[in-house]
Amino acid sequence: MVADSMGGLLELEIVAATADAVRARVPVTDGLCQPLGLVHGGVYASIADQLATAHTPKAAHAISNQTSFLRPITRGTIHASARARHRGRTTWVWEVDITDDERRLCALVRVTVAVRP
Amino acid sequence: MVADSMGGLLELEIVAATADAVRARVPVTDGLCQPLGLVHGGVYASIADQLATAHTPKAAHAISNQTSFLRPITRGTIHASARARHRGRTTWVWEVDITDDERRLCALVRVTVAVRP
Amino acid sequence: MVADSMGGLLELEIVAATADAVRARVPVTDGLCQPLGLVHGGVYASIADQLATAHTPKAAHAISNQTSFLRPITRGTIHASARARHRGRTTWVWEVDITDDERRLCALVRVTVAVRP
Amino acid sequence: MVADSMGGLLELEIVAATADAVRARVPVTDGLCQPLGLVHGGVYASIADQLATAHTPKAAHAISNQTSFLRPITRGTIHASARARHRGRTTWVWEVDITDDERRLCALVRVTVAVRP
């Protein structure tokens, strides 16, 4: 499955998905990088938002996103592994690990999603 | 001044800038929106990251971004108003208000930036 | 008005309150400090939580708290100034500035509160 | 090992510790609860801050704390499980899961700690 977003810039490929976990990858392209060649911080936030909202059942929208930037990615593939840590009546909380091709942790994202009861 | 980013998708126009505040605007284009027509959450994070890192002196990179999504934007212009709330020796903290054309508050972003001493 | 909390450790005095803003102060006591003599980070989070939940109408409880620690406080008075930045149907978002007796910014807190419709 | 804090209110017992993980527990006492009988949100933030800063080598202090409140605790024991997710040159990032006696997830905390090189 491939989801298009940001005018096709963010090509998100779902690798595996269960009820409360989903893994995806995104190829690094020039369009995702700053002039210095690092992937934009907003890209990690976007990937996490999309995984979290698409995999929360019922009409869901993100109410907050907290991203910690640990290590830059400059090429190859962005790997995202998302887990629903909390599945409440009105909110779900997802934690998403972003890693590079060497499996090094590059960003941590926590997304809080509002669900409609 | 116009800064290009995300393959030109994010056309950031600086409206005013002082030592510890900067205002910018970004026109809403299809490329910034989800299929449902709302501007992507990652866009607000990206705008804030770019304002914060570009206006922090010395080599700076974001170490965290906390975005709260309050109200969707679907068209017109995204307005960003950034203030440096803390200018420390090793970190700066910026708070960025995102508003729409009716000046309604749509997102709050706090960006922590590491500076090189 | 004085609100008791944490076994009386956190003596919160409300200085001024309107519909969407409230200011309070808390005297620094030994019980609020770490062994090194700095006020505990959790104290700022607690002050902000209490102001936000007590001043959000309807049954409210905090769903998240994001505190940035900027400068330690070691004595005197902790001053807290809270503003409701977003008053939505299901969530309110408060931003709280923590300052010391010299009016230096010591912590920034964003509290998201769930309200019952 | 028992660490005293907040005037003895927060009695933190370390259950196990390795180089990048630590588990602790805190008995729920009246002093930690709000008038309604729920443990204060600031208590989870304090526990996480203390674990993170005490187990990061070199002089360390927290620069941010992001707590998501998922489920209240009213009695018994607060269990905290902390992992160092990032051990960088200038910052460490800890993630702390707070659970109750039934092992239900009650809060998620991310603490960013500055280390002195």
Q: A58, A61, A64: which to substitute to probe chain C, counting the most C Cβ within 10 Å? A: A64
Could you count the other beta carbons within 10 Å of the beta carbon of residue C102? 7
Lowest mean pLDDT among A6-10, B62-66, D41-45: A6-10
Say which DSSP state D72 is in.
-
Nearest to B52, CA basis, from B43, B44, B61 = B61
- Strand stretches in chain C, DSSP E: 2-3, 12-17, 21-27, 60-69, 77-87, 91-99, 105-115
Run of H or E including C54: helix C41-55
Closest-CA distance of chain C to residue D98, Å: 14
Tell me which of B55-64, C2-11, C99-108, D30-39 is least confident.
C2-11
Is the predicted pLDDT of residue B82 greater than 70, yes or no? yes
Determine contact, residues C113/C56, Cβ cutoff 8 Å.
yes
Q: How far is C9 from chain A (nearest CA, A)?
A: 31
User: Using CA atoms, how far apart are residues D110 and D45, in angstroms rounded to an integer?
Assistant: 9
Q: What pLDDT, on a 0 to 100 scale, did the predictor assign at position C52?
A: 94
pLDDT digits (tens, 9 = 90+) for B11-38: 789 999 998 999 999 999 988 888 888 9
DSSP helix/strand/coil, C10: coil
> What is the mean pLDDT of the segment spanning D10-25?
93
Residue C60 is predicted with a pLDDT of 84
* Lowest mean pLDDT, pick from A66-75, C39-48, C99-108, D27-36: D27-36
Question: D3 falls in which pLDDT band (50, 70, 90)?
Answer: very low
- In this predicted structure, the answer to whether residue D58 has a pLDDT above a threshold of 90 is no
Neighbouring subunits of D (3+ Cβ pairs under 8 A): A, B, C
Task: Check residue A88 and give its pLDDT.
Answer: 94
**pLDDT band with cut points at 50, 70 and 90 for residue D4:** very low
C18 by Cβ neighbours in 10 Å (0-12 / 13-18 / 19+) ranks as exposed
Residues D53 and D63: beta-carbon distance below 8 Å: no
Closest in B66, B90, B91 to D66, CB measured? B66
Look at residues D108, B92, B10 and name the one whose alpha carbon lies nearest to residue C68.
Answer: B92
What's the pLDDT score for residue C48? 95
Q: Any idea what DSSP says for residue C31?
A: G
Q: Is the pLDDT of residue A2 over 50?
A: no
CB count in 10 Å sphere of residue A34: 19
Place of tokens 């005018």: A7
Q: Is C50 exposed, middle or buried (0-12, 13-18, 19+ CB in 10 A)?
A: buried
Complex prediction ipTM: 0.91
Which chains border A (3 or more CB–CB pairs < 8 Å)? B, C, D
pLDDT confidence of D1, banded at 50, 70, 90? Answer: very low
Please give the pLDDT value at position A9. 63
Are D12 and D32 in contact, with CB atoms under 8 Å apart? Answer: no
Q: Tell the residue number behind the tokens 């400068």, with chain if given.
A: C71
d(C-alpha C94, C-alpha C99), whole Å:
16
| Residue B26 and residue B13 in contact, taking contact as beta carbons nearer than 8 Å | yes
List Cβ neighbours of A74 (8 Å cut-off, separation of 6 or more).
Answer: A28, A33, A37, A38, A39
CB B104 within 8 A of CB C85: no
> Rounded to two decimals, what is the model's pTM?
0.93
Categorize the per-residue pLDDT at D6 as very low, low, confident or very high, splitting at 50, 70 and 90.
Answer: low
Nearest-angstrom CA–CA distance, D73 and B85: 34
Q: How many angstroms separate the CA of residue C109 from the nearest CA in chain D?
A: 9
- Cβ within 8 Å, pair C69-D65: yes
As a whole number, the mean pLDDT across chain D is 90
Could you tell me if D108 and D98 are in contact, meaning their C-beta atoms sit under 8 angstroms apart? yes
- Please name the amino acid found at residue A102: E
The closest alpha carbon to D92, from C39, B63, A39, B56, belongs to B63
Q: In terms of Cα–Cα distance, which of D48, D49, D13 is closest to D28?
A: D13
Phi, psi for C116 (deg, rounded to 5): -90, 125
Is the CB of residue C112 less than 8 Å away from at least one CB of chain A? yes
Contact B112 D63 (CB under 8 A): yes
Taking Cα atoms as reference points, which of A6, C102, C98 lies closest to residue D42? C98
Indicate if the pLDDT at residue D91 is higher than 60: yes
Position of tokens 């170490």?
B63
Phi, psi of D27 (to 5 degrees): -70, 140
What is the three-class DSSP state of A43?
Answer: helix
Least Cα separation, residue A8 to chain D (angstroms): 32
Q: Which residue has the higher pLDDT, B5 or C11?
A: C11
Q: Is the pLDDT of residue A63 over 70?
A: yes
Separation between Cα atoms, residue C82 and residue C18, nearest integer Å: 10
D15 touches chain A (CB under 8 A): no
